[in-house]
Amino acid sequence: MSATLRITTAVVALGAAGCASGRVPVATTPLEARQFQVHTFEAADATLVLKAAVNTLMDDGFIIDTSDAQLGLLTATHKRSTRSFLGTMTSFMSYGRVGPWRTTVIEANVKIDAFGGGSRARVSFRLTHGGTGDSDSKATPILDPAVYQAFYARLDKSVFLLKEKL
């Protein structure tokens, strides 16, 4: 499988997590979730992995909210606003205007620490479906291991590119 196809597949997997509004998260304990949220980088220092994480998230359309190299902490959000077709048509036919916007937000939290001769990263994603008001919003953790595998595949590539100064 070509690198471009793998990256496209990974981006689609992360995007699909944002589109699955009716999806119920898999029953996972915090310890089980940590197993697929953690990834070790053998010969990469924590600062390099943090830079690679910034690049990876930005490539995926995230906006970096905070970054603290000393703590190895990074937070980012990816927002998408949409209007449902049914809501738009109902509002248009009733009031002559377009229906309300609904916002979907994926939040990413990244923590990177030195570990042995390399570093260890833990990433968690959270999906928030916003309604027409704040009270309509509901946040759920993304607990699909495939999303994390796809992210770490892209992060591995970004670490490699930074190490090789490409």
Residues 6+ apart with CB under 8 A from 76: 57, 62, 63, 64, 65, 107, 108, 110
List C-alpha distances in Å: 85 to 92, 94, 118, 157.
10, 14, 49, 38
For 47-63, give one letter per residue: b (16+ CB within 10 A) or e: ebbbbbbbbbbeebebe
Q: What is the pLDDT of residue 43?
A: 77
Number of structural domains found in the chain: 1
Is a pLDDT exceeding 70 seen at residue 36?
yes
Q: What is the pLDDT of residue 86?
A: 54
Of 51, 55, 104, the C-alpha closest to 77 is: 104
Is a pLDDT exceeding 60 seen at residue 27?
no
Per-residue pLDDT reduced to its tens digit, 99-136? 566 788 999 999 999 998 899 999 999 998 875 555 56
Is 156 or 18 the better-scoring residue by pLDDT? 156
- Domain with 155, as residue range(s), is 3-163
Q: What is the pLDDT of residue 106?
A: 94
Is a pLDDT exceeding 70 seen at residue 91?
no
Q: At what angle do helices 46-59 and 145-163 cross, to 10 degrees?
A: 120
Per-residue pLDDT reduced to its tens digit, 126-165? 998 875 555 566 889 999 999 999 999 999 999 999 999 8
Is a pLDDT exceeding 70 seen at residue 2?
no
Q: What is the pLDDT of residue 129?
A: 80
Per-residue pLDDT reduced to its tens digit, 47-84? 999 999 999 999 999 999 999 999 999 999 999 887 65
Question: Rounded to two decimals, what is the model's pTM?
Answer: 0.71
